[in-house]
Structure 1
Amino acid sequence: MANNHFNYKTVYAFAREMHPKTEKFDVQYGTAGFRAKASTLGYVMYRMGLLAVLRARYKKGCVGVMITASHNPEPDNGVKLIDPCGEMLEQSWELWATKFANVADDELVDVIHEIVSKLDIEMTQRVEILVGKDTRPSSPSLAKALCDGILALSGKPIDYGIVTTPQLHYFVYCKNSKHEYGIPTEEGYYTKLSNAFKKLRGESFNNGNYFNKILFDGANGVGAKKIKYFQECLGDSLKIEMYNDELIGTGKLNFMCGADYVKVKQTFPNGVPQITEQRCCSVDGDADRLIYYYLDENKKCHLLDGDRIAILIAEYLKEMVESTGLEVDLGLVQTAYANGASTDYITQKLKVPVSFACTGIKYLHHEAQKFEIGVYFEANGHGTIVFKKEFKEKLKLALENTSLSNEQHGAIKKVLTIIDLINETVGDAISDMLLVETILHSKGWSIQDWEKKYTDLPNRLMKVSVKDRTQITTTNSERTCIKPDGLQDEIDTIVARYKAGRSFVRPSGTEDLVRVYAEAISQEEADQLSLEVALKVYDMADGIGPKPSL
């Protein structure tokens, strides 16, 4: 039985006097952790500090806590926990996080006793909690509340200061792998990725239609700060022109810039010069999303989102692995929001198996882990590649195989270098950017060459306000609606009238909204299909407010 003695007087005193629960509404821990107005989060941060210590003791390793609200506007902030392998918090513990955040101050100690007793947590172990934060002005004060919670249960906070979310995931995994994955410092992170990039690039910086210059939109966030260190490490191998890179407190975070803005608005961000056919990319506020784009001669903005990044990477890795002569299980994971044309290209042209997962990066990550090489990206540009440990060992053993040719040995070494360029723990916009640049350089492609691989089907996303979003229930990775009864049959009937038609509906995770996605052969038909389905949802799922319209 665990030793469940701890200084409950300190825990309660801190909660009552310094971090009292000020909000009457409940909050829920989701894929993105907790997010809300920063002014309401002090008590939540304190309680997540407590929970982080309990999680670390339960897992017998260090965990991370990141203070960020990613692509949200600056008044918001948030917090999420990072598990010892650098992955997102285990789903079963999301329930504990929600319970900790919502319990009354005078019941908080009881909840701590409950989790310690149920999970048999040994409370005497001294554990480290790695803390990171983005550039929001609210982050320092929220970090103080978080550290108060860590200290209240005798944990040891290790403050990494302002870092990207992917960096903190990387540091946590490095620490728990006893530095096998890398050195858990910023310098170690920059060195590992930049050395791999330069090794893959070689002496020729330009190749064919590829030129080594990119315009980088940092969303006035932490990615803008960190890319400057990379530029120093990369030298002339990649010329990065930085925009929206204001220091903390000057540029507005994610305001008319950043990956989410570019993806949703399908236009250039503020501040980035509109140079015809120049390759550009944007990251979000905590640098875990990446979107590419360019301007054509008719001043139209072309978007290359997470679907296209995933396909570019999957095709490249398939070619690299085939050149090693090894049999490898490579797969790609998408969500229902992935463009149908991308799925067709992957399955029919690349002959790479596709798995579907529910929306939310944690679902894609776990599905990708089923493959020896699992590539996953959401359309919003959040994603990475995961490699099974057995696959890495297979590569290293193959280097000792004298029956393989010099070319095969060279290909194996190249794949191992590619693995070093990738942050496997979570979507990492900067690591992903360096990988995309490596692939384009290797193929001698311009961004236009990349785009020509396939043509996206026109699509439309609409929202329908409803009385209760829980009336909508889905299955088949959110692609099939099972409640209300009969709605999916109606959707199927409507879709059948449109060439290349596809549509699905899914409830919002936070609001009483239903999202309606539709694709068709033309934009006009995609718009009309989306509207027809939205009206059917409005009629059958207790829609409120004005009826949907284009």
Structure 2
Amino acid sequence: MPKMFGTDGVRGLANRDLTARLALDLGDAAVRVLGKAGQKDETQPEGRRRALVGRDTRVSGDFLASALSAGMAAGGFDVIDAGIIPTPGVAFLTSVLNVEMGAVISASHNPMPDNGIKFFARGGFKLPDAKEDEIEAVLGQDWDRPTGAGVGRVSHDTVTATNLYIDHLVSSIAPLNPDKTQPKPLRGLKIVADCANGATSVVAPEALRRAGADVIVINASPDGYNINKHAGSTHPEQLQAMVKATDAVMGVAFDGDADRCLAVDEDGNMVNGDQIMGILARAKKEAGKLADNTLVVTVMSNLGLKLALKDMGIKTVQTAVGDRYVLEEMLRGGYTLGGEQSGHVINREFATTGDGTLTALTLCNEVVRSGKSLKELAADFPQLPQTLVNVPNVDKMAATTNAKVQAAVEKESKLLGETGRVLLRPSGTEPLVRVMAEAATQEQADEVCDRLAKVVAEELAL
């Protein structure tokens, strides 16, 4: 039986794969595993235990939030429903409100019909695989549920939750002055923000404006159906055009739950997660805040980033794909910055997970502080030409053991030397292998990727 939890919680087609009943059962099971049901929280009146629930703007979030909250309340937890709020907002509030656990209902950058549920433990950290396995193991099981005064309540507090989160975001680059006035470090910066009609449609524009920026907002009118639709980080074309049309200094694009951010320079050119991480890593190093002068990246980060950072005296540590694995390595090594090419950036000085709005604020702040344009900053982190080919209908698990495939990988790697690299990555959800090649020229990357893809298709065919 396949695992229910994927790399980022439980996800699927809402009301087909992810039903109200499943959400109810997940809330019930999470209470048992994360809440150690039956124990009291002595920090709360009468020992009440609490959970926090937030969601993105999908219409299915309404019934899923109600069902998830019902499962938690039936298990004896008082539930704070924070309404529509970014995923990193739930992580932050789970920590500062000292609740036992948090939950987000979102499918991130996926199309509107999909949805998902992911949990945060006390402190605002994503769950390790072992905890997710425990939740799945008790899913749907009967247990001695509380009755009478032992059941929980569900309260709604969107305004307080959102304001707490925005205050936190703005303070990351603009701590209050001694007289309690708010500095405006982004004053004069004209920026376009594409909110993907998602969870940060209120948060990001307000945070950027409070920090002093002149913000032009697009795709911030969610109707339950338009999240990520031709908008946001997966469809940046509108943002690119708007930046050029308005003579903005730069633009930022979020995904549906706002845990990632990509950027656009003044000419409409994309600035990806690798380049953003490079800019922020250098800034942290100069400020003495980059622990061990190290940036944590995934195997998908471009070799160009690593070579540029090496010249700047910054090391890189590599993990599997997924911001949860980046965070695990950051916690293990005590590192302060890490992320993914897709725009998930984890800044441990201020967050426990990827936070797109935080990334936008800190990136804007570095543009102002440095006195350079985003185009100039990004140019210091050139990206090597990259080719990615999906090879379907293959035995993906044999990609790392097949002798001929491994011999081909070794041959191509020697051919590229230090000027490029190759990577075979089995898909987490489909019977396919992703073949990636980076090289000094696009032509060479294409040729290497094509040769390797043919070997994978021939040797691993099902």
- Is 1:527 aligned to residue 446 of structure 2? yes
Q: Letter of the aligned partner of 1:466 in structure 2?
A: N
- Paired residue total: 393
Contact conserved, 2:249 with 2:373, CA < 8 A, in 1? Answer: no
Aligned to 1:261: 235
Q: Letter of the aligned partner of 2:269 in structure 1?
A: H
Q: Letter of the aligned partner of 1:529 in structure 2?
A: V
CA distance 1:273–1:312, change in 2 (3 Å) = closer
- Once residues 244 and 373 of structure 1 are traced to their aligned partners in structure 2, the CA distance between those partners, rounded to angstroms, is 35
Secondary structure (helix, strand or coil) at the match of 2:221 reads coil
The 5-angstrom pairing of residues 151-166 of structure 1 reads 151-166=73-88
Aligned to 2:58: 136
Aligned to 1:282: 253
Contact conserved, 1:191 with 1:233, CA < 8 A, in 2? Answer: no
Aligned to 2:169: 193
- Once residues 375 and 353 of structure 1 are traced to their aligned partners in structure 2, the CA distance between those partners, rounded to angstroms, is 12
Aligned to 2:154: none
Aligned to 2:271: 304
CA distance 1:127–1:352, change in 2 (3 Å) = same
- Is 1:442 aligned to residue 418 of structure 2? no
Aligned to 2:217: 242
- Is 1:487 aligned to residue 405 of structure 2? yes
Instruction: Provide Cα deviations, 1:478-515, integer angstroms capped at 9, x if missing partner.
Output: xxxx3223322211213433472311111111111111
Instruction: Provide Cα deviations, 1:393-413, integer angstroms capped at 9, x if missing partner.
Output: xxxxxxxxxxxxxxxxxxxxx
Give 1:261 deviation, angstroms.
3.1
- Once residues 189 and 522 of structure 1 are traced to their aligned partners in structure 2, the CA distance between those partners, rounded to angstroms, is 44
Contact conserved, 2:437 with 2:449, CA < 8 A, in 1? Answer: yes
- Once residues 397 and 442 of structure 2 are traced to their aligned partners in structure 1, the CA distance between those partners, rounded to angstroms, is 30
Secondary structure (helix, strand or coil) at the match of 2:372 reads coil
Aligned to 2:382: 455
Identity %: 26
Q: Letter of the aligned partner of 1:342 in structure 2?
A: L
- Once residues 50 and 186 of structure 2 are traced to their aligned partners in structure 1, the CA distance between those partners, rounded to angstroms, is 42
Give 1:231 deviation, angstroms.
4.6
Indicate the larger mover: 454-463 or 367-376.
367-376
Contact conserved, 2:387 with 2:438, CA < 8 A, in 1? Answer: yes
Q: Letter of the aligned partner of 2:81 in structure 1?
A: D
Give 1:271 deviation, angstroms.
7.4
Secondary structure (helix, strand or coil) at the match of 1:370 reads helix
Aligned to 2:26: 48
Aligned to 2:147: none
Instruction: Provide Cα deviations, 1:76-119, integer angstroms capped at 9, x if missing partner.
Output: xxxxxxxxxxxxxxxxxxxxxxxxxxxxxxxxxxxxxxxxxxxx
CA distance 1:26–1:367, change in 2 (3 Å) = closer
Aligned to 1:345: 308
- Once residues 520 and 535 of structure 1 are traced to their aligned partners in structure 2, the CA distance between those partners, rounded to angstroms, is 18
Secondary structure (helix, strand or coil) at the match of 1:280 reads strand
- Is 1:32 aligned to residue 8 of structure 2? yes
Secondary structure (helix, strand or coil) at the match of 2:269 reads strand
- Is 1:226 aligned to residue 203 of structure 2? yes
Q: Letter of the aligned partner of 1:286 in structure 2?
A: D
Instruction: Provide Cα deviations, 1:287-307, integer angstroms capped at 9, x if missing partner.
Output: 0010012363xxxx5221111
Give 1:57 deviation, angstroms.
2.3
Aligned to 1:514: 433
Give 1:447 deviation, angstroms.
1.2
Contact conserved, 1:260 with 1:380, CA < 8 A, in 2? Answer: no
Give 1:426 deviation, angstroms.
0.6
Aligned to 1:408: none
Give 1:249 deviation, angstroms.
3.4
- Once residues 29 and 203 of structure 1 are traced to their aligned partners in structure 2, the CA distance between those partners, rounded to angstroms, is 42
Secondary structure (helix, strand or coil) at the match of 1:461 reads strand
- Once residues 49 and 269 of structure 2 are traced to their aligned partners in structure 1, the CA distance between those partners, rounded to angstroms, is 48
Give 1:312 deviation, angstroms.
1.2
Instruction: Provide Cα deviations, 1:283-341, integer angstroms capped at 9, x if missing partner.
Output: 00000010012363xxxx5221111111111111111118xxxx953321111111101
- Once residues 343 and 430 of structure 2 are traced to their aligned partners in structure 1, the CA distance between those partners, rounded to angstroms, is 23
TM-score by length of 1: 0.66
- Once residues 359 and 40 of structure 2 are traced to their aligned partners in structure 1, the CA distance between those partners, rounded to angstroms, is 28
Contact conserved, 1:170 with 1:184, CA < 8 A, in 2? Answer: no
Instruction: Provide Cα deviations, 1:365-402, integer angstroms capped at 9, x if missing partner.
Output: 0111234442101000002122xxxxxxxxxxxxxxxx
Aligned to 1:382: 344
- Is 1:537 aligned to residue 456 of structure 2? yes
- Once residues 532 and 284 of structure 1 are traced to their aligned partners in structure 2, the CA distance between those partners, rounded to angstroms, is 34
- Once residues 320 and 350 of structure 1 are traced to their aligned partners in structure 2, the CA distance between those partners, rounded to angstroms, is 14
Q: Letter of the aligned partner of 1:221 in structure 2?
A: G
Query: Which one has the largest radius of gyration?
Result: 1
Contact conserved, 1:457 with 1:522, CA < 8 A, in 2? Answer: yes
Instruction: Provide Cα deviations, 1:112-149, integer angstroms capped at 9, x if missing partner.
Output: xxxxxxxxxxxx97421211111001111111221222
Aligned to 1:431: 358
- Once residues 48 and 501 of structure 1 are traced to their aligned partners in structure 2, the CA distance between those partners, rounded to angstroms, is 45
Secondary structure (helix, strand or coil) at the match of 1:248 reads coil
Q: Letter of the aligned partner of 1:358 in structure 2?
A: A
User: Would you identify which runs of 4 or more consecutive aligned residues in structure 1 move more than 4 Å?
Assistant: 59-62, 181-184, 199-206, 267-271
Contact conserved, 1:331 with 1:368, CA < 8 A, in 2? Answer: no
Alignment gaps of 5+ in structure 1: 1-24, 63-123, 387-418, 473-481, 544-550
Give 1:196 deviation, angstroms.
4.1
- Once residues 425 and 167 of structure 2 are traced to their aligned partners in structure 1, the CA distance between those partners, rounded to angstroms, is 42
Q: Letter of the aligned partner of 2:233 in structure 1?
A: A
Secondary structure (helix, strand or coil) at the match of 2:228 reads coil
- Once residues 160 and 395 of structure 2 are traced to their aligned partners in structure 1, the CA distance between those partners, rounded to angstroms, is 45
Secondary structure (helix, strand or coil) at the match of 2:415 reads coil
The 5-angstrom pairing of residues 64-213 of structure 1 reads 126-176=48-98, 185-199=161-175, 205=186, 212-213=189-190
Contact conserved, 1:46 with 1:146, CA < 8 A, in 2? Answer: yes
Secondary structure (helix, strand or coil) at the match of 1:515 reads strand
- Once residues 365 and 533 of structure 1 are traced to their aligned partners in structure 2, the CA distance between those partners, rounded to angstroms, is 31
